[in-house]
Amino acid sequence: MGRLNADDWARAALDALAEGGLAAVAVEPVAVRLGVSKGSFYWHFPNRQALVEAALERWEAETEAVIAGLERLRDPVERMRVLMERAFGDGRDAAISFRLISEVDDAVTGAGSSGVGAVVRRVSERRLAYIRAALEEAGQAPEEAARRALAAYAGYLGLAALARIGVAADGAGHLADLAMAELGLPSRSV
């Protein structure tokens, strides 16, 4: 592992975030993870805050990438099925999402000092809006779509949390089917 660039640090920071939460996105620990000293870090970034922001940026970009990938599917039901299977198959994103939300700066909705709140809120809304849109495209009334999207995404977050402590068995396909049912969509091709 030769020289590093800012992106290597951002990637490692996101990994640390998934594993240990925001507190783990710390300069010295991540430096150890990269087998390097923090002297390297302060070359690429001005401070720790910038590292956190870089990790969040990557996370947000991943959401956009997933959505962009789904857009190639014409059938909204198919899009949701692929999304659910992907969502419940991974676990990494759910871990990040959940941790981020729970660690949003103490001031509940207020403009947190670190700006984490804004990103988390933006990404959450984006995902909900995307699911809502797909459900409406599939023929559901706006109100019903909103309700189901919220229930499904909340379930996604909660399930990830429970899976993390080993309470919910994380059978991938099984959970995806359950989520599809909650969305009011058929699990297999009509």
> Which positions lie near its own copies, rule CB under 8 A?
19-21, 23-24, 98-99, 101-104, 106, 108-109, 117, 120-121, 124-125, 128, 147, 150-151, 153-159, 161-162, 164-168, 178, 182
Residue in 21, 33, 40, 91 binding DNA, rule: CB under 7 A: 40
Q: Which does 108 bind (CB under 5 to 8 A by kind): DNA, its own copies, none?
A: its own copies
Structure tokens at 72: 């190639």
Separation of alpha carbons 135 and 58, rounded Å? 27
Nearest CB to DNA, comparing residues 36 and 151: 36
Using rule CB under 7 A, residue 105 touches DNA: no
Nearest CB to its own copies, comparing residues 68 and 108: 108
Residue in 4, 119, 138, 145 binding DNA, rule: CB under 7 A: 4
Q: Which does 4 bind (CB under 5 to 8 A by kind): its own copies, DNA, none?
A: DNA
Phi then psi dihedrals of residue 139, to 5 deg = 110, 0
Query: Least separation, in Å, of the C-beta of 86 and its own copies?
Result: 18
> Which residues have CB under 8 Å from 113's CB, separation 6+?
105
Using rule CB under 7 A, residue 7 touches DNA: no
| Per-residue H/E/C for the chain | CCCCCHHHHHHHHHHHHHHHCHHHCCHHHHHHHCCCCHHHHHHHCCCHHHHHHHHHHHHHHHHHHHHHHHCCCCCHHHHHHHHHHHHHHHCHHHHHHHHHHHHCCCCCCCCCCCCHHHHHHHHHHHHHHHHHHHHHHCCCCHHHHHHHHHHHHHHHHHHHHHHHCCCCCCCHHHHHHHHHHHCCCCCCCC
Q: Which does 128 bind (CB under 5 to 8 A by kind): its own copies, DNA, none?
A: its own copies
Nearest CB to DNA, comparing residues 33 and 147: 33
Q: Which does 76 bind (CB under 5 to 8 A by kind): DNA, its own copies, none?
A: none
> Contact positions toward DNA, by CB under 7 A?
2-5, 26-29, 31, 36-40, 42-44, 46-49
